[in-house]
Amino acid sequence: MAYFRETRNVELSCISHLTTQINANWSGVSVVKSFQDATAAAIPVVCVRLLDTSSRTREIGATTLNHTYNIIIDIFAKSDGQRLDLADFLTDLIKDGWVYYEHGHVPGHPDQLNTTANGRVHFEGLLENRRIDFVETVADQDKYRHIISFLSSRI
């Protein structure tokens, strides 16, 4: 089985963690991977995407890299209260980190993923946690938008 690479696995592990917790605690909230899917779905929607990766060597003279991942969560809520509640809920979920899964396609079934736990993803800190204000009138999808941006790494 061909497993995905670490960056893709970090993103998918985060999506899996948030989807499981949102489904267990909220009703009617969708979790999607791409911004395009978020704007096409009925609100409320939580969009998770890995924006970028920065890397540095583990020690002087080494060629092995430690990666830090910037993950963004976009919230598309139905009301300002729901936006605030979802933002607090999601911040509480990510601060404790989550299980890192290696993902790969099931042989003969490219639409199915096989997952194997192999460590954890560590939360390193929030970069941004705020409402997105638009200066002009916006579509209903964007009225109650929120962004959470944070750094994480695999441990």
CATH number of the 6-154 domain: 3.30.2000.10
Q: Report pLDDT for 2.
A: 64
pLDDT at 1 over 70: no
pLDDT at 98 over 70: yes
Joined tokens for residue 11: 């993103």
Q: Report pLDDT for 58.
A: 79
- How do beta strands 30-32 and 45-57 pair? parallel
Q: Going by C-beta distance under 8 Å and a sequence separation of 6 or more, which residues neighbour residue 130?
A: 146, 147
Distance of alpha carbon 28 from alpha carbon 63, whole angstroms: 46
Q: Report pLDDT for 112.
A: 86
Q: Are 91 and 148 in contact (CB under 8 A)?
A: yes
Distance of alpha carbon 76 from alpha carbon 66, whole angstroms: 32
pLDDT at 139 over 90: no
Domain ranges of the chain: 6-154
Q: Hey, what's the torsion of the CAs at 13, 18, 19, 21, to 10 degrees? A: 130
The mean pLDDT value for 93-119 works out to 92
43-66, pLDDT tens digit by residue? 999 999 999 999 888 788 888 889
Higher local confidence (pLDDT), 55 or 137: 55
Average of per-residue pLDDT values in the chain: 93
Q: Report pLDDT for 68.
A: 97
Percent of the chain residues topping a pLDDT of 90: 74
